[in-house]
Chains A and B, each alone.
Chain A
């Protein structure tokens, strides 16, 4: 697959000339055609700034932004074939839903008949055929979200940018919209760049993820690579829960820290009990457990004094303060730079 977007050594400063802050710091990445690409990171990591640089709402101080091989870094937002779904949706309150959706095409001077047809199609794609004459204030949050999507997608942009677009929705609606977004991306075959701070959302939706850290890319890879082979402790900690213990505590003859996910360890509660797969086993004391339905988390303080979390599908017959052992899956140990 060829690259749709290539970002080359882009830097963006904010703040004053005396005290500049690098919001995006010499960052390079590529986004492929028809890809669901996610920029993931905590607030202040520069992911929204990067998105705004791609949209043309900010201008970069150095570097190139190549869209299908053409540098668009110097173009204003209205000249870029890229559309954005804003975090607050930014629907125009004085226009009907249909006029909102048709706005982009009408600004491009498209024929009124074409606009009408495309707007109807976009409403159908969102399953909102009967909402064209309504005003944004008459819609629920989820409906507003879908109108914002339709307003951007109707222009058939080369890239659709989504800025924390699901964060304003409640849990259930967010889950539905995640599936909806994936469906839309499949059906429209448009490249999506999605900004989020929600690692679960990123893992479930993305073809590839760029984990951002202080204006740079911490790691770029598929969700599986990011989750199972994080390159740094920062990435491992940001994605899901990751235990880190000193290698000697696990009886390993190496230096540094070893990481493992809660589900890659088994809690042994009986004397002489053997794990299914042989690997490092450490002794400790059960501190706390929390039941989450499908999974139960056990917090164990190892004899070395380090605290780890182990996940099991079952609620094991064990109480707090019991002596336990933690068995690790040897293939799933994470060795990365701290």
Chain B
């Protein structure tokens, strides 16, 4: 008999408990961001006051700015590299062992525990004496942004028939024109989707940034963490809620954009 989870007593309950365990804290954070009191455990009434306060906090402002600079930079550079890699590896010109090696190398940041990358990157930067402030963070982010940008682009390339660029060349387009007018427009949804995933991964990264960010270069997640150590306030809840809403928006956008079919 096939095992159907619906027939197993208690399975549904465990599922709901698991979901509650994962998501209730998030709802609690959001709920208490609207608390009028200073405490994050006692509800005192509804208020919007923590949102303007969080937005007006200079530390949070500076950290948000850092986050955006790093995320935009890492997204742009990481996506360009991922696009180049996807185009190069898609064609028949690359031997299979080289392809496999390239895939693995690119996917490494997804497979290796983040703390390992964080520590090795920190040690590496120290060893070569790289002290460029926010640029250090940017370089570290580019590396792990590449695989996130690469996956949707590669998936997209695979759906474009070879006859598309052949037809373009048959119609007098040279290599660059065929890419510019046919391949690139067809790839655009994949590129956008990959860029958004890279962006959100960079924006939300904590461990690597915590290790490699020199003083003054901390990003929003790191800044929130350091504030939490001094005590949770509804201000932090408000900042976290805004970050969460923004993240969900970007991920949804990425999903919707890449859902559109080529043909």
Contact = CB atoms under 8 A, between A and B. Distances in A.
Given A77-B166, A90-B166, A93-B262, A151 B171 contact: yes
Contact of B168 (A82, A103, A155): A103
A77 B170 contact: yes
B130 to A, nearest CB: 43
Contacts of B171: 78, 83, 103-104, 107, 151-152, 155
A87 B169 CA distance: 16
B41 interface: no
B262 A90 contact: no
Contact of B170 (A83, A88, A91): A83
B169 A90 contact: no
Interface in A124-150: 136-137
B173 interface: yes
B181 A90 contact: no
Contact of A78 (B164, B174, B263): B174
Nearest to A161: B170
Contacts of B168: 92, 103, 107
A13 interface: no
Contacts of B164: 90, 92
Contact of B172 (A88, A91, A155): A155
A2 interface: no
B173 A78 contact: yes
A86 B167 contact: yes
Contacts of A56: 169-170
A57 B170 CA distance: 8
A73 to B, nearest CB: 16
Interface centre among B161, B171, B182, B262, by most A CB within 10 Å?
A: B171
A84 interface: yes
B189 to A, nearest CB: 10
A76 B263 contact: no
Given A86-B163, A88-B163, A107-B177, A93 B169 contact: no
Nearest to A108: B172
B172 A107 contact: yes
Contacts of B173: 78, 103, 107
Contacts of A155: 171-172
B186 interface: yes
Interface size class of B (residues with CB under 8 A): 10 to 19
Interface centre among A76, A83, A103, by most B CB within 10 Å?
A: A103
A90 B263 CA distance: 10
A57 B185 contact: no
Interface residues of A, number: 27
Contacts of B262: 93
Contacts, number: 64
Contacts of A57: 166, 169-170
A57 B167 CA distance: 9
A94 interface: yes
Interface in B177-197: 177, 181-182, 185-186
Nearest to A102: B171
Nearest to B178: A78
Contacts of B181: 103, 107
Interface string A54-81: 0111000000000000000000111100
A94 B185 contact: yes
Contacts of A77: 166, 169-170
B259 to A, nearest CB: 15
Interface in A245-285: none
A173 to B, nearest CB: 20
Contacts of B177: 107
B161 A88 contact: yes
Nearest to A99: B181
Interface in B219-263: 262-263
Nearest to B182: A92
A79 B173 CA distance: 9
Contact of A92 (B167, B170, B172, B174): B167
Contact of B161 (A84, A90, A107, A137): A90
Interface in A83-127: 83-84, 86-88, 90-94, 103-104, 107-108
Contact of B169 (A76, A91, A152): A76
B163 to A, nearest CB: 4
A55 B186 contact: no
A78 B169 contact: yes
- Complex A-B, nearest 7 residue pairs according to Cβ-Cβ distance, in ascending order: A104-B171, A90-B167, A90-B163, A107-B172, A77-B169, A107-B173, A94-B185
Given A78-B170, A78-B171, A92-B168, 14 more contacts: A57-B166, A57-B170, A83-B170, A83-B171, A84-B170, A86-B166, A86-B167, A91-B167, A93-B186, A103-B173, A107-B168, A107-B171, A108-B172, A151-B171
25 contacts: A57-B169, A57-B170, A77-B166, A78-B173, A79-B172, A82-B170, A86-B163, A88-B163, A90-B161, A90-B166, A91-B167, A93-B186, A93-B262, A93-B263, A103-B168, A103-B181, A107-B168, A107-B171, A107-B172, A107-B173, A107-B177, A136-B263, A152-B170, A155-B171, A155-B172
